[in-house]
Amino acid sequence: MDEAILPVENAHEPFEEAHQPSLVDAMQTENMVTSSQSSSKYKDILSQPAAGVSHRQRLLWLQKRRSPGLWAQCDECSRWRYLPHVLDRHELPVKWYCRMNPDSTFASCSAPEYPIRMRDEEDLIHSEYNAGSLVMGRVEGWPWWPGMVDDCPDTEQYYWLDGFSDIPTHYNVVFFDAEDVTRAWLAPSDIKPFKDRKKVNIDFKKNNRERIKVALKQAKEAEKMTLTERLAKFSFVGRYKGDINSPKKVNKKEIGKYKELFERKFSVAMPDDEISDSESVPE
């Protein structure tokens, strides 16, 4: 992988009819659910970065609000339990039961579910990975490579939702590497948990042997860190030394071009959006 052309700073987002949550929505399941338990945390989630900050500062503000935590459903009673210290579902066994809950208050199927406010429930997504999840990622033409799920500097989130689905179709992965930082939007089929790396074919050919060894060493180092430390050191915003500008804007003509491509690809007719030539939307 000495001459890898992996997606870099301006990686393209998946080409789909996608719903992009706002910065508040992007705090995802693990953060929003805590609002049912802490009003101060809820206010922090609803806060926004100070006006006038740079795009890099905005991304760092978001990064500091990423945290572990997810809802798991008991395979015996079907009740949902919040696990605040679990980063993603791959840290849990295939079958999970209430009795495995470290919180003794909810470690029994007889314990009622903790109430979730309707507003919060609407923001939950069925996500495999979280910001900071360590993975093996595969880009077409390249071997499996260690990486980390991370916020995209363009969309300010780490997952991509298609239409009204609550199941991410892609995750933004930043790759470990001794050279320039690279990233790509990958489908779940092209991602494996880092702990399962022995199940994938890691290519140690001569042209990338030393480079991938360094990448694996970095991933193992990240594995021993707290989530905060991991994101601070190995995230895109933590490693990229160039300028990180706000997302580019596209005009009505460009929107029309992508609309035609989408219609041809999926054989569907999309409604005409009333966007003037003076208006623009994030690319």
β-strands 134-137, 145-149: how paired? antiparallel
Write down the pLDDT at residue 35. Answer: 33
End-to-end CA distance of the chain: 29
Backbone dihedral angles phi then psi of residue 80, each to the nearest 5 degrees: -95, 135
Query: What is residue 132's DSSP assignment?
Result: T
Helix (H) or strand (E) holding 191: strand 191-193
Residue linked to tokens 């039961």: 97
Beta bridge partners of 191: 137
Residue 276: count of CB within 10 angstroms of its CB = 8
Q: Which spans in the chain are helix H? A: 28-32, 39-46, 55-63, 118-122, 209-223, 227-234, 236-239, 252-266
**Cα(21)–Cα(175) distance, integer angstroms:** 24
Q: List the one residue out of 111, 112, 151, 120 whose CA is nearest residue 23.
A: 151
Encode pLDDT of 167-206 as tens digits: 999 999 999 998 889 999 999 999 999 999 998 888 777 7
DSSP symbol at 197: G
Q: Is the pTM of this model over 0.85?
A: no
Beta strands in 31-144 (DSSP E): 70-73, 80-83, 134-137
Instruction: Spell out the residues 6+ positions from residue 158 whose beta carbon is closer than 8 angstroms to its own.
Output: 129, 130, 131, 149, 150, 151, 152, 171, 172
Q: Cα(83)–Cα(69) distance, rounded to whole angstroms?
A: 5
Q: How far apart are CA 23 and CA 62, in angstroms?
A: 8
Which residue is associated with the tokens 């042997």?
209
Element (H, E) at 19: strand 18-19
Which residues lie closer than 8 Å to 206 by C-beta, 6 or more apart?
Answer: none
Distance, in Å, from the CA atom of 34 to the CA atom of 37, rounded to the nearest integer, reads 5
3-state secondary structure of 184: strand
3-class DSSP state for residue 244? coil
According to the model, what pLDDT value does residue 243 have?
Answer: 82
Residue stretches of the chain with pLDDT short of 50: 1-12, 15-43, 274-283
pLDDT at 47: 65
**Residue 14: its pLDDT value, please?**
56
